[in-house]
Amino acid sequence: MEGISVLLVDDEKHLARNIGKWFQSKGCRVHTAFELEEALSALEALPELDLLITDVYLQAGRATPGGQILAKYCAEKRPNLPVILLTGKPSMDLAIAGIRTHAFDFLTKPVHMPTLWRRAQKAITEMRLRARLSELERDNKLLSAILPNAIEAKDPTTRGHSDRVVRYADTLAIKSGVGEEERRDLRLAARLHDVGKIGIPEAILTKPGPLDREERLVIQQHPEIGFKIIEPLKDFPRVRDWVYQHHERWDGRGYPQGLKGEEVALPGRILILAEVYDALATTRSYKKPWSNEKIADFFEEEAGHHFDPDLGKIVAEGVREKGQDFFQAFSGNSEQEGGQTLSSPAQ
């Protein structure tokens, strides 16, 4: 915690100075302010601050206590700056107000310095972790959105395919009782499942009409290429597995490994159905979207052959009864609609 920068705000000047001395003895850079306006100016002028400690009843008599104004300011303008509120008049109302203004912590006077120091360290460490986490989440979101865009740049007919497959897979996962953690991984696998198409020649990807045997063998390499592309996802082994397995079949006649039945885990089997459903329900260069009736018949016939028998029946019944509406977005992850797809159960 050496070198951290703290702003101390209290109209009891001696207290602000005492806390300041304690923090300085720990190697901190200390700034002090004794009234609200001074504190607001300091917040503007000190972008590198690590912590704000402020008295709640700063300049008593204000309609809104000065400390709460500062906490609110930080929540809006400096969301990564932790705020610790101090008060000599503890009350439940005040504690609630502190939480409402997103203050990180709340301490009563008289201030016990070792306690304040411990809580200050905790606040800074936790806030830094939170900031890092939200940065990682943002990067992760961006990267997993960029990869499908890269496939779409190569093959515009797949526009929106990944987004729709995410939604279909998640709906089926909810209906099949898949837990939240596995659903999260499944959504990522659904988003990335066709990433291997980046490694397939454009002439084959965008060929109008059916593929010949050799071309089919080339396109059938895309699950393995995808598996290699997402190798850095070492912490998500099942995401990689489900991407690798998304063209397997229940009867073992799929590719690339010819896995059978429950050799593919339930979320992986769900992804297989979701991808095929999208292939059937959307336009391709040589086929129109199938009707709900025809899709329902197909899933019924292929339950226990191409598809997990239970899942095949669920989709057949659902699509027959509700059509597209069967795939309601439960997860709020359907960012994009429309578009076409190249993927097909035959490929």
- The residues binding Fe ion (CB under 5 A) are 194
Q: Where are the alpha helices (H) located in the chain, listed in sequence order?
A: 13-25, 36-45, 66-77, 92-100, 113-154, 161-175, 180-192, 202-205, 213-219, 222-229, 237-244, 266-281, 292-302, 309-322
Q: Is 133 exposed, middle or buried (0-12, 13-18, 19+ CB in 10 A)?
A: exposed
Of residues 26, 154, 197, 294, which has the active-site annotation? 197
CB of 194 to Fe ion, least distance (A): 5
Residue 273 CB contacts under 8 Å (≥ 6 apart), including other chains: 168, 172, 299, 307, 308, 311, 312, 315
Residue sitting closest to Fe ion (CB) = 194
Coil/strand/helix, residue 314: helix
CB of 257 to Fe ion, least distance (A): 14
Amino acid 215 reads E
- Asked about 228 being catalytic, the answer comes back as no
Q: Of 105 and 194, which has the nearer Cβ to Fe ion?
A: 194
CB of 275 to Fe ion, least distance (A): 6
Look at residues 146, 155, 242, 145 and name the one whose alpha carbon lies nearest to residue 198. Answer: 155
Q: Of 194 and 278, which has the nearer Cβ to Fe ion?
A: 194
Q: Of 50 and 194, which has the nearer Cβ to Fe ion?
A: 194
CB of 147 to Fe ion, least distance (A): 14
Q: Of 31 and 161, which has the nearer Cβ to Fe ion?
A: 161
Catalytic residues: 197
